[in-house]
Amino acid sequence: MAFLDENGVELLLGNEAIARGAFEADVACVSAYPGTPSSEIPEVAAKYAKNTGVYVEYSTNEKVAMEVAIAYSWSGLRAMVTMKHVGLNVAADTFMSVAYQGAVGGMLVVSADDPGMWSSQNEQDNRLFGRFAGVPVLVPGTPQEAKDFTKLGFELSEATGSLVLLRTTTRVSHTRAPVKLEALGEGVRKGETKSGKFQSNPTKFISLPANARRNHPEVLRRLNDALEFARSRGLNRVIGEGDFGIITEGVEYLYVKEALRDLGVSAKILKLDMVYPLDEELVAEFCSTCTSVLVVEELEPFIEDMVKSILFDRGLNVTVHGKDILPRVDELGYWKVRNAIEHALGLSLTKPEVSQVPQLPPRPPVLCPGCAHRNVFYAVKKVDRSAVKPSDIGCYTLGAMEPLKAIDTCIAMGASVGLSSGLAKAQGNRVVATIGDSTFFHTGLPALVNAVYNKARLTLVVLDNRITAMTGHQPNPSTGFTATGEVSPNLDIAEIARALGADYVSSVDPYDLSELERALREAAEHVVSVVVAKQPCALLRASLLRQKKERIPTYQVDAAKCTGCRVCVNLLGCPALVFDREAKKVSINEDLCTGCSACAQVCPYNAIYEVLPDGSKKFDVLTDEVKERWQRWYSTLF
């Protein structure tokens, strides 16, 4: 990918196009907390940061990322902060206040929403956040628009003095399409690190109530300015003709165009690029020439409700369809939109043509072979099966799946610790929580402080795999390097837990099941205890060992010793373990095995052995040599 080419056409993901648009806009700072479907934006920006002088960072959470970006904006520089939709919940405290204070240099907030919840715990519609905060909202529908609207967002921000929310969705973020490149920003092209200057302005920047009262009217003024900007740039436009009208936005516009083409019907379309503030005059004029209007939008009736209010206020008697014939949940698509158009026009509904394919077996997600999280869940259940087990957002949420079933709750980032504090008090019994290293730094720290302060009887197991694994292996404060690969302090979670006042802290290797169980039992004897399970992500470790041409240990099953009890399969659920129903024997898929030896440790018949380089068998797998190897894996991974 010739990402830094000055012109031409490149095949880009929507997220890559957003990063490119920021570079063309001469952005100075890109801050983020990674989260699908937004993760590729900071990844691409970080890849080219050193060559362009752009400052890119993975912040500890979205609120901090927002504050880093606004600091650049208030220093007169262009800044972009990116996150997935639920990340804006974390950043909302700062976002809502800064909406009053406004921007100096262009400030773009990218929210990647996830209709259909492909990788999320909800499918909230963050267009509502724009209206809530009084911030203009741009909605791209293609990778080309993603790039163009990014640049436009910076211009809009500086023209109005407002933050701008760029709301994309999974379908746009992860679609790849040709994107026409334009010139990079001057500073980016020269590779210059940009330096700004903060100009003191207490009335603007200090959110005392007296200042906030002065700034609130400024929010409304900026929205009016945003409308004028949209009109001058032709952001919202009418396409086609007829007395049947469709109001739509983003990727939904593409569904509309395709459905109209195949139905052979005409419609007048109002395509909205800036969905908030909504141009009431344009909407009223558009609807006044229609007998009926269909609003096509994903999730909430955001545009629909405003359209109905506009028509009511003006006494316009126009039938408006929307969520009466379109779902309020899940992604839209060609057939949903086509059927909605047919319904609005009184046509017979066309049934989708579905090709007949064999019924495929279900493939639920599982933890990777050799994942140390699996061992933690096994040990937690073995030590205290009766404990309530809250968990958090990350790969380890898969601990809820069969056969582990070692998770009772999952809400939001860091909630495992806060919920555990409450559960320990509410029921009077010990609680065992699990949280990842990145999530611990994200929002686990304040909750742990709360548990210590209020003496909640809980054990917190921090699954420290040295990376933000679920969203694509981004670094975090426990990794030891930054977004751009610079060496940084490797923050030790155990030391932090001790500093926060935990009564018991232990760092263990989760591959050593006996040691892990011992630590969990000792932890149960204290009020607030923290066990840090330290072993790198199995995917990264295996990849690195192959790159270094180091031997990955091989394990096999002695068929003569295997009784077919399936203890290893039922307790661990590792994809590398294969049970032959006819032979009633377990075997190990060498292509999947990463050499963690957990299966050998749980086998009650000592039937699993390591194959040594000379071909001999080692049944006593938990030796000092093996433990030393694991420690080397951890300490030298990065």
Neighbours of 390 (CB within 10 A): 26
What fold, for 372-541? Rossmann fold (3.40.50)
Taking the domains of the chain in order of start, what are their residue ranges?
Answer: 8-193+203-233, 237-345, 372-541, 552-636
CB 99 within 8 A of CB 138: no
Nearest CA to 369 out of 518, 553, 547 is that of 553
Q: Is 484 helix (H, G, I), strand (E, B) or coil?
A: coil
Fold agreement (8-193+203-233, 237-345): yes
CB 236 within 8 A of CB 274: yes
Token pair 């032959």 in the structure block, residue: 580
SS3 per-residue string spanning 493-553: HHHHHHHCCCCEEEEECCCCHHHHHHHHHHHCCCCEEEEEEECCCHHHHHHHHHHCCCCCC
**Does the pLDDT of residue 638 top 60, yes or no?**
no
pLDDT band at 562 (very low <50, low <70, confident <90, very high): very high
Kindly state the tokens that stand for 429: 């019994």
Q: Which amino acid is at 527?
A: V
Kindly state the tokens that stand for 66: 């927002």
> What whole-number distance in Å separates Cα of residue 256 and Cα of residue 248?
8
**Does the pLDDT of residue 483 top 90, yes or no?**
no
**Does the pLDDT of residue 637 top 70, yes or no?**
no
| Strand order from edge to edge, sheet including 617-618 | 554-557, 608-611, 617-618
* pLDDT on residue 468: 84
Give me the percent of the chain exceeding a pLDDT of 70.
Answer: 98
**Is pLDDT larger for residue 624 or for residue 389?**
389
* pLDDT on residue 64: 95
**Does the pLDDT of residue 333 top 60, yes or no?**
yes
Arithmetic mean of pLDDT, 123-149: 97
* pLDDT on residue 634: 67
- How do strand 319-321 and strand 292-296 relate by DSSP bridges? parallel
SS3 per-residue string spanning 54-78: CEEEECCCHHHHHHHHHHHHHCCCC
User: pLDDT by residue (tens digit) across 145-173?
Assistant: 999 999 999 999 999 999 999 999 999 99
CB 244 within 8 A of CB 268: yes
Kindly state the tokens that stand for 435: 């949280």
> What whole-number distance in Å separates Cα of residue 60 and Cα of residue 442?
5
**Does the pLDDT of residue 396 top 60, yes or no?**
yes
* pLDDT on residue 315: 93
* pLDDT on residue 510: 93
Q: Is 483 helix (H, G, I), strand (E, B) or coil?
A: coil
Average pLDDT, the chain: 92
Instruction: Calculate the CA dihedral of residues 447, 451, 457, 461 and round it to 10 degrees.
Output: 40
Computed on alpha carbons and rounded to an integer, the radius of gyration of the chain in Å comes to 28
Nearest CA to 139 out of 267, 254, 261, 311 is that of 254
Least confident of 217-221, 231-235, 243-247, 367-371: 367-371
User: pLDDT by residue (tens digit) across 176-196?
Assistant: 999 999 999 999 999 989 899
* pLDDT on residue 309: 96
**Does the pLDDT of residue 329 top 70, yes or no?**
yes
**Is pLDDT larger for residue 636 or for residue 260?**
260
* pLDDT on residue 1: 59
Please name the residues in contact with 276: beta carbons below 8 A apart, sequence gap of 6 or more: 127, 130, 131, 135, 136, 137, 302
**Does the pLDDT of residue 633 top 70, yes or no?**
no
pLDDT band at 94 (very low <50, low <70, confident <90, very high): very high
**Does the pLDDT of residue 636 top 70, yes or no?**
no
CB 283 within 8 A of CB 270: yes
Nearest CA to 463 out of 402, 406, 522, 424 is that of 406
Q: Is 197 helix (H, G, I), strand (E, B) or coil?
A: coil
CB 251 within 8 A of CB 272: no
Arithmetic mean of pLDDT, 349-363: 79
Arithmetic mean of pLDDT, 461-485: 85
* pLDDT on residue 428: 82
Token pair 């203890």 in the structure block, residue: 567
User: pLDDT by residue (tens digit) across 584-595?
Assistant: 999 999 889 988
**Does the pLDDT of residue 485 top 90, yes or no?**
no
Kindly state the tokens that stand for 487: 């060496």
Beta bridge partners of 588: 577
pLDDT band at 471 (very low <50, low <70, confident <90, very high): confident
Please name the residues in contact with 453: beta carbons below 8 A apart, sequence gap of 6 or more: 501
> What whole-number distance in Å separates Cα of residue 118 and Cα of residue 394?
14
* pTM assigned to the model: 0.89
Residue 34: C-alpha distances to residues 38, 327, 483 (Å): 7, 29, 11
Arithmetic mean of pLDDT, 555-583: 92
> What whole-number distance in Å separates Cα of residue 311 and Cα of residue 485?
54
552-636 placed in CATH 3.40.50.970? no
Q: Is 554 helix (H, G, I), strand (E, B) or coil?
A: strand
237-345 placed in CATH 3.40.50.12780? no
> What whole-number distance in Å separates Cα of residue 257 and Cα of residue 386?
56
* pLDDT on residue 129: 96
Neighbours of 590 (CB within 10 A): 12
pLDDT band at 542 (very low <50, low <70, confident <90, very high): confident
User: pLDDT by residue (tens digit) across 261-279?
Assistant: 999 999 999 999 999 999 9
User: pLDDT by residue (tens digit) across 4-30?
Assistant: 888 889 999 999 999 999 999 999 999
Neighbours of 349 (CB within 10 A): 10
Arithmetic mean of pLDDT, 191-212: 91
Please name the residues in contact with 620: beta carbons below 8 A apart, sequence gap of 6 or more: none
Give the helix/strand (H/E) hosting 631: helix 624-636
> What whole-number distance in Å separates Cα of residue 563 and Cα of residue 154?
66
What fold, for 8-193+203-233? Rossmann fold (3.40.50)
